[in-house]
Amino acid sequence: MPAHDEALVIQTTLRTLLPQLGPRDRLIVVADNCSDDTANVARKEGAEVIVRTDTTRRGKGYALDFGVRHLEADPPDIALIVDADCEVTPGALGTLARTCSSTGRPVQALYLMRAPSNAGLKTRIAEFAWVLRNQVRPLGMHRIGLPCQLMGSGMAFPWDCLRNSALATGHIVEDMKLGIDLARAGHAALFCPEALVISRFPDSASALQSQRTRWEHGHLSVIFSDAPRLLLESLLHGRLSLLSLALDLCVPPLALLALQLLVIWLAALALHAASEVTLPLMLATLSVGLFGLAVIIAWGCFGRHVVSLTSLALAPVYLLWKIPLYGRFLVSRQIDWVRSRRDRN
């Protein structure tokens, strides 16, 4: 468990984890560059704590590598990674470990983000977008026998897979990068929807903005840096699992995808007005319609408890809020790992 200044939340997380451990299991908390009481709180709850201090090499990847090197003296068969701000539902650890052991593959739990009870429209829609990305899409791929991306928390690995991975990086979406590297090496992750891990969006608007910027700038960076090579490798070697991951990776964040479709539709409309060419407008209208239909179907099956249909109809407001975020990617993209501040007790 990597933990950077998580004294406010780590106690709750540990109390969902410790009852699920067997007598031979170990819970290692990596207190990484902490300026608060994270290490002492974790020790009092019964976790084994190791402290890492390196102000020049900051980020979750470095903390994970530090924990893995610590385990090399007495390695486990299966290693699980859980963030320090998560609720791990009963039985989830055992389900992940058994699935990983029986398949010999990395396994990703169903990892969902929940909005605070007093959350506004933007956070509710962000929660629904998370459901689409982390539940609907990987569940569909799982049902047709395809792998999924790693999502950052609730992950189980055969020891050799994790030990031989390049973890010590400052990449701001280290989980996505790790999943790609493992898939390229022949160890694509398996989705396990029966194991549920829950985290929560920050309460403050500034913390939420920082979190979204890190995730989405990181995702877009990986699309440009890794997706072309992944597509090429999958085609050259005829690897369907790699191709499916490459195509899934190429799907931009939901708000950006909606904005792209809207821009294409407006461009097709302008072309039609100027030249009366109809085919581009017909295709663009069909694409927008299919996108909207897919969102409505996903909402009906998975999102009713997250956001009302009336609120979902106000999603264009959410899109406007996201435009500056994507603009900053072009002129001042985030490349350094920054922890989102916790405001809750």
At residue 337, the pLDDT reads 56
Residues 80 and 139 in one domain: yes
Q: Give the Cα separation of 225 and 227 in Å (integer).
A: 6
CATH number at residue 143: 3.90.550.10
The separation between the first and the last C-alpha atoms of the chain, rounded to the nearest angstrom, is 20
Contact by Cβ (8 Å): 318, 120: no
Q: Residue 159: count other Cβ atoms within 10 Å of its Cβ.
A: 16
Residues 50 and 170 in one domain: yes
**pLDDT at residue 210 is higher than 80:** no
Residues 187 and 56 in one domain: yes
Q: Give the Cα separation of 167 and 261 in Å (integer).
A: 36
In a domain, 230, yes or no: no
Beta carbons within 8 Å of 58's beta carbon, 6+ residues apart: 33, 170, 336, 337
Residues 173 and 76 in one domain: yes
Residues 190 and 287 in one domain: no
Cα–Cα distances in Å, from 4 out to 30, 159, 224?
A: 8, 24, 29
Residues 151 and 263 in one domain: no
Domains of the chain: total: 2
Residues 93 and 170 in one domain: yes
User: Where among 205, 226, 244 does a domain terminate?
Assistant: 205
At residue 30, the pLDDT reads 96
**pLDDT at residue 340 is higher than 70:** no
At residue 344, the pLDDT reads 46
Residues 44 and 173 in one domain: yes
At residue 208, the pLDDT reads 75
Would you list the DSSP string of 203-242?
Answer: SSHHHHHHHHHHHHHHHHHHHHHHHHHHHHHHHHHT-HHH
In a domain, 146, yes or no: yes
* Phi and psi angles of residue 233, each rounded to the nearest 5 degrees, phi first: -60, -40
Q: Give the Cα separation of 185 and 110 in Å (integer).
A: 23
Beta carbons within 8 Å of 104's beta carbon, 6+ residues apart: 158
Q: What is the pLDDT of residues 289-338, one digit of tens each?
A: 999 999 999 999 999 999 999 988 888 888 888 888 888 887 777 665 55
At residue 77, the pLDDT reads 96
In a domain, 61, yes or no: yes
In a domain, 290, yes or no: yes
Q: What is the pLDDT of residues 217-256, one digit of tens each?
A: 888 888 888 889 999 999 999 999 899 999 999 999 888 9
**pLDDT at residue 193 is higher than 80:** yes
In a domain, 301, yes or no: yes
**pLDDT at residue 339 is higher than 80:** no
In a domain, 270, yes or no: yes
Considering only CA atoms, give the Rg of the chain.
21
Q: Give the Cα separation of 328 and 217 in Å (integer).
A: 9
User: Where among 182, 205, 228 does a domain terminate?
Assistant: 205
What is the average per-residue pLDDT within 10-31? 95
| Percent of the chain topping pLDDT 70 | 96
At residue 335, the pLDDT reads 60
In a domain, 247, yes or no: no
Cα–Cα distances in Å, from 206 out to 120, 128, 308?
A: 14, 20, 25
Q: Which domain holds residue 181?
A: 2-205
Residues 130 and 24 in one domain: yes
Residues 26 and 152 in one domain: yes
Q: What is the pLDDT of residues 126-147, one digit of tens each?
A: 899 999 999 999 999 999 999 9
Residues 120 and 6 in one domain: yes
Residues 191 and 313 in one domain: no
In a domain, 268, yes or no: yes
**pLDDT at residue 103 is higher than 90:** yes
